[in-house]
Chain A
């Protein structure tokens, strides 16, 4: 079985994770630009981070047999420092046409402040202007209202709902998104968000159309193998291999394929050559290089 994890923050993970993910059948990942756990204090740290997403991290993933793509955007938490947020918004367009940048994201709400709403709209407009998908985070707190307001904003901006994936859904918010043309994202976590068993129940109730599952693994307690583990749970619950492949491989690729930068045919495990270097640097630490 081949899998794609369409939302995972690999920059926070180890090479062991990459090895285990490849072993479990994950062929490709999408890494949305994200909050670093504490506020950034200047534009240059955003530039270095964005450059790393299209540079070193892409190389590092390939070293372990995984294709790495990303989405570019300013996280809602970072939208509340207006002066800095304006500077960041100015540089995002220069990344959006790069070949590995599949969408604008992750954008959305955190505290649901006026500033968050303003920059959320501006970034939806950027996605619309560039003909790119928009990956939208729904808030941890006040999730139902955050999801409703998200749908309102998508409609106000006028971006094609097909281009929008609304993520981190649960039993309360999935029905709201199902009434739209947007794609439905679910993050499977060890403790919070959504479990494999609950995800299986949602798939039984709502079907597999436009349903997407990710691990959203980051620097917190999370599990980069949650996509294949959800596949196992689906098979155990009686779903077919085709259903598993549709939800955990084809759906996310077809969603991101709207960027014109990726297709199902493109997503095959890359050959590993650990003798490769990135700007003269290697991810090896003394081990014998694997060359396929």
Chain B
């Protein structure tokens, strides 16, 4: 299999964070008490995390700067990375709560950066659960240009995610390592889906042939 990785580094992300926001993040993370419970830390980080968009103007916040990463995504992932650095032992437990507290739009940023935040796949079952969303934006964040799902998802969950992407008309050619992870079950499912669409006189999803 090809080396599944992000196409950019944490340093690249940092370069897009306005100095005032970076200073705010560093200042807030310095206030964290390493002896606090996960819940207390997660509550504090969630407040800061949700406040970041207010520190950017809307135009710059939503500007895509690194593939699918916007400036706001960069700021949010940077905050979580700083938290990881400050409280490494409790970080995954904290992140688990933050995922629980975040709304779908906030979850999308976490998911885009999850490969940096959990590079060993410890939270894979939590990320699989997020795939049960009805939010197209969150599904796209999970499935496109995301090495985490391609690297850590078991076959069943990977296949389901790819099918969901087809259902929401996403371009599956942007799924990392798609051809390496292609399998006969996925091919059969896609073929059935293609014929279901044809039976209903509907268009066949873009790039579905890549997995058939």
Number of interface residues of A (CB under 8 A): 24
A residues less than 8 Å from B199 (CB atoms): 170-172, 198
Judging by beta carbons under 8 Å apart, are B196 and A110 in contact? no
Whole-angstrom CA separation of A37 from B132 in the bound complex: 9
Judging by beta carbons under 8 Å apart, are B156 and A38 in contact? no
Task: Tell me how far the C-beta of A234 lies from the nearest C-beta in chain B, rounded to whole angstroms.
Answer: 19
Query: Taking the complex as formed, is A141 at the interface, i.e. its CB lies under 8 A from any CB of chain B?
Result: yes
Query: Taking the complex as formed, is A80 at the interface, i.e. its CB lies under 8 A from any CB of chain B?
Result: yes
Selecting from B63-71, B160-168, B204-212, the interface stretch reads B160-168
- Give the bracket for the number of chain B residues in contact with chain A: 20 to 34
A residues less than 8 Å from B100 (CB atoms): 41
Judging by beta carbons under 8 Å apart, are B134 and A37 in contact? yes
Given the interface pairs A111-B156, A141-B167, the reply to whether A80 lies near B129 with Cβ below 8 Å is yes
Judging by beta carbons under 8 Å apart, are B156 and A172 in contact? no
Interface string of B175-199 (1 = CB under 8 A from A): 0000000000000110011011001
Query: Taking the complex as formed, is A144 at the interface, i.e. its CB lies under 8 A from any CB of chain B?
Result: yes
Whole-angstrom CA separation of A123 from B191 in the bound complex: 31
Our pick among B134, B160, B167 for the contact of A111 (Cβ within 8 Å) is B160
Q: Is the interface of B mostly helix, strand, loop or mixed?
A: helix
Query: Taking the complex as formed, is A142 at the interface, i.e. its CB lies under 8 A from any CB of chain B?
Result: yes
Query: Taking the complex as formed, is A258 at the interface, i.e. its CB lies under 8 A from any CB of chain B?
Result: no
Query: Taking the complex as formed, is A143 at the interface, i.e. its CB lies under 8 A from any CB of chain B?
Result: yes
Q: Which residue of A lies closest to B131 (CB)?
A: A111
Judging by beta carbons under 8 Å apart, are B192 and A143 in contact? yes
A residues less than 8 Å from B164 (CB atoms): 141
Q: Which residue of A lies closest to B166 (CB)?
A: A141
Judging by beta carbons under 8 Å apart, are A39 and B160 in contact? no
With A143-B192, A170-B200, A171-B196 given, name 12 new contacts (CB 8 A).
A38-B134, A41-B100, A110-B132, A111-B160, A112-B156, A141-B163, A141-B193, A143-B193, A145-B188, A172-B196, A172-B199, A220-B134
Q: Which 7 A-B residue pairs are closest in the complex by CB-CB distance? A: A141-B163, A142-B189, A171-B199, A111-B160, A144-B192, A77-B132, A37-B134
